[in-house]
Structure 1
Amino acid sequence: MRNSSNIAPSAEPSELPPAQPSTRHRTLALSGLAHALHDGYTDAIYVLLPVWRAEFGLDYVALALLRGLYAGAMAALQVPASWLADHMGGRAVLILGTLIAAAGYGLAGFSGGALGLCAALFLAGAGSSVQHPIASSAVSRAYGSAARGPLGTYNFSGDLGKAIIPAALAFGLSFAPWRPSLWLLALAGIVVAGLIAVSMPKIAPAPPPPAQRSAPPRGGNGFPLLLAIGVIDTGVRMGFLTFLPFLLQLKGASQPLIGTALALVFLGGAAGKLVCGWLAQRWGIVGVTLCTEGLTALMIAFAAFLPLAPLLALLPLLGLTLNGTSSVLYGTVPELAPADRTERAFAIFYTGVIGSGALSPLLFGAIGDQAGPVVATLGTAVAALVNLPLALALGPKLARQ
């Protein structure tokens, strides 16, 4: 039965009619390809950090700075990227950002030390900042009121990139030095930018703003609530994943088994991103969010106390609920944003969730230092429960659309 919160958006989110099927499919395919590339670029850094530590003698603070520069540039420039799209057009900015990200990886291959790597990774992060707001908006405008499921597919494509590109890089590093491997990554970015330039349909422009905004934007104050749920959901996910390896160690897991356990979580997470966006379209935003957040809190609590074997069996389902909420939330952004500000809304939303992903491990890490990994893990379960009343408060905002 359909939840009352899953009200189909009014015609306002896309005052232009939805695109033709072939145009929609190409938009989704190429937006997903861009998402896979840029998310793969983001996680490829984890593979490279040990290499750079050995090559340049960097300490852990310097390595954290390299990762932080990339993530910081990507988070901070989401909103400026949406402003740039207003003037240059979304497709042009997506092509330019992809080329800049590729150039950053290419320049990293020429770096002779930490300063060069810092500059190159900042450039790559700046280029990747354009992808989330622009590609998300492209899918949203192409599909109109039917965008929730496709946005879940788009979200899932990022997980594919996170799985494929770092694994391919790690495999390549066993045969070739790291510098040529980075140049190949840069070449992949150039190819993707070329495919977008040649094949991606023009992104529908934002409709002009109404001459007068006498009434509040659609959804009333729903967007701040949605953003708060997204920030907490991301914080729970990153905090739990930070402590999962230590939790597994306490239960006697070996290093290879810890890697397998993480893979089980990520596989379940990819399935959750793919499935939950479509479920929200059928069962309702609030109902699916309550289910995923409630089950996440319950299973994290189980994870803290279960023996190793049952925990391993639980991890795929935990990954599904841990990541599934994100597709529900991303698909709701265009429903709560004014029609002429979709890119801006996505940019603000991604800035919040990426910032939460960077800061939440510090918060839960402080808890872990004081009380241990089990208490810190249980803290993430409590944080997930905070989203239940927020989701209930969001329901009336959606119903008023």
Structure 2
Amino acid sequence: MAIAQFAVARSPARKRVLAVACGAHALHDGYTDLIYVLLPVWQTEFALSYAMLGILRMLYTGAMASLQMPASVLARRTGGAFLLGVGTAVAAGAYLLIGLGGAGFVVLAVALLLGGAGSATQHPLASSLVSRAYDDQGARAALGTYNFAGDLGKMAIPAMVAWLLALMPWRGAVGIVGALGLLVAVAVLVLLPRDLGSARHVATQARPGTKDSAAGPIAFPLLLVIGIVDSGTRMGFLAFLPFVLKAKGAGFETIGLALTLIFAGGAAGKLACGLLGERLGVLLTVILTEGATAAGILALHWLPLYASLACLPAIGLALNGTSSVLYGTVPDLVSSARREKAFGLFYTGTIGSGAVAPVLYGFVGDAMGPINAIMVVAVVCLLTIPLAAALNPSLRRVA
């Protein structure tokens, strides 16, 4: 009864935490993918080579990936909510600098570096805030909702800027999304207590005992390896999908439609599989999602073009759905005091895997061709199932 009353009392506050975290996730993921829309604009504006465009993209993602662990450590002193608000303001300020400034390539590069540094605060800190808010029940479903919000941002913000580019100069469009980010930063700082997520605040909320010792020393490393394999599968498949469809006779418009279908399915998968994992558990959900992913990828080898297109939403659902289950399992394996560090390490590993996997699979594609390469991706994807089986006893101990 006491626990139920505690949950009810916390409900409005934790819903606020989830709403703010979802808003921040949508903004930051939208900022990250907005760069793809702006690269052709910058190429024309600054007469850049493809190598220079690649450097611009790397500055943002590299800063974001490399600073997640430092952000996790700093949040223990300043409070996760406060640092998330500051990071969001920095990322928004970077886009305002790009949009309102009249300077050239050097300022653009510095702004993207700052934007990536600001976005480094989002994944580990927002995830930790949500997981703690729902620590007593529903953490995996809440993190699935949070994960889904990021995909909404990936679709909404680039689409909004693409629409604005038809109405105004590109700097004005970028300035608008920068101003939007400042509003989100203010919302984070106003709606959440400044010290939420700090070491002092976590200590006052901590419960007796730790999940780390109950789960065992290999539990979190196993989860991290599953996440790395899953992220590599996703990025490897997406790298080869256009070439596989092209070999089946698809044109550029059809390939664009295919990517839209798989991303839409992926967004739905992040939400649905977070809820599914809450009901079925990690092992069964991973077997279902990764098995469906491998079966769907292999089916593309034999299916004609339009049948392949029809399968893509279901493949996207399974392909992206596993990530919500894995993110939602981090709180099951680490104590509340280590949450930021664990999420920082997890996101660094999965983002790094997503960056490296297309290169490694690229060598496979050069040697075997794209259709055979995605079959290798499907086989590697199935490695997550025995890894999840090895993790399952640890999850039972902390259940």
Contact 2:283/2:385, CA 8 A, preserved across alignment? no
2:239 aligns with one of 237, 242, 252 = 242
1:122-169, Cα deviation, whole Å (9 max, x unpaired): 100000000111111111111113211111000000000000000001
Q: What letter matches 2:375 in structure 1?
A: L
Secondary structure class of the residue paired with 1:20: helix
Match of 2:174 in 1: 182
Match of 1:144 in 2: 135
Match of 1:3 in 2: none
1:88 aligns with one of 75, 78, 95 = 78
Match of 1:73 in 2: 63
1:274 aligns with one of 239, 264, 271 = 271
Determine if the alignment matches structure 1 residue 64 to structure 2 residue 54: yes
Determine if the alignment matches structure 1 residue 116 to structure 2 residue 107: yes
How far has the Cα of 1:358 moved from its partner?
A: 1.1
2:213 aligns with one of 195, 214, 217 = 217
Match of 2:119 in 1: 128
Indicate how the Cα distance of structure 1 residues 208 and 349 shifts in structure 2: closer, same or farther if over 3 A, else same.
Answer: farther
Match of 1:322 in 2: 319
How far has the Cα of 1:114 moved from its partner?
A: 2.9
Contact 1:368/1:375, CA 8 A, preserved across alignment? yes
2:248 aligns with one of 245, 251, 269 = 251
1:154-198, Cα deviation, whole Å (9 max, x unpaired): 000000000000000111111111111111111011000111122
Instruction: Work out the CA distance in 1 between the residues paired with 2:210 and 2:249.
Output: 62
Match of 2:186 in 1: 194
Match of 2:22 in 1: 32
Match of 1:48 in 2: 38
Structure 1, 146-155 or 104-113: larger mean CA deviation: 104-113
Indicate how the Cα distance of structure 1 residues 18 and 343 shifts in structure 2: closer, same or farther if over 3 A, else same.
Answer: farther
Instruction: Work out the CA distance in 1 between the residues paired with 2:58 and 2:288.
Output: 33
Indicate how the Cα distance of structure 1 residues 178 and 79 shifts in structure 2: closer, same or farther if over 3 A, else same.
Answer: same
Instruction: Work out the CA distance in 2 between the residues paired with 1:19 and 1:272.
Output: 31
Instruction: Work out the CA distance in 2 between the residues paired with 1:30 and 1:281.
Output: 22
1:207 aligns with one of 197, 203, 228 = 203
How far has the Cα of 1:201 moved from its partner?
A: 4.8
How far has the Cα of 1:17 moved from its partner?
A: 7.1
Contact 2:262/2:315, CA 8 A, preserved across alignment? yes
Contact 2:211/2:333, CA 8 A, preserved across alignment? no
Indicate how the Cα distance of structure 1 residues 64 and 111 shifts in structure 2: closer, same or farther if over 3 A, else same.
Answer: farther
Percent identity over the alignment is 52
State the structure with bigger RCO (CA 8 A, min sep 6), 1 or 2: 1
Match of 2:151 in 1: 159
2:90 aligns with one of 97, 100, 104 = 100
Is the helix fraction higher in 1 or 2?
Answer: 2
1:247-288, Cα deviation, whole Å (9 max, x unpaired): 111111121111111111011101100010111111111100
2:261 aligns with one of 264, 267, 276 = 264
Structure 1, 125-134 or 371-380: larger mean CA deviation: 371-380
Name structure 1 gaps, 5 residues minimum.
1-10
Contact 1:277/1:328, CA 8 A, preserved across alignment? yes
Indicate how the Cα distance of structure 1 residues 62 and 311 shifts in structure 2: closer, same or farther if over 3 A, else same.
Answer: same
Equivalent residue pairs, number: 386
Q: What letter matches 1:333 in structure 2?
A: V
Contact 2:37/2:162, CA 8 A, preserved across alignment? yes
Indicate how the Cα distance of structure 1 residues 19 and 48 shifts in structure 2: closer, same or farther if over 3 A, else same.
Answer: farther
Contact 2:211/2:332, CA 8 A, preserved across alignment? no
Match of 1:354 in 2: 351
Indicate how the Cα distance of structure 1 residues 387 and 191 shifts in structure 2: closer, same or farther if over 3 A, else same.
Answer: same
Contact 2:211/2:334, CA 8 A, preserved across alignment? no
How far has the Cα of 1:119 moved from its partner?
A: 1.1
| TM-score of the superposed pair, with normalisation by structure 2 | 0.93
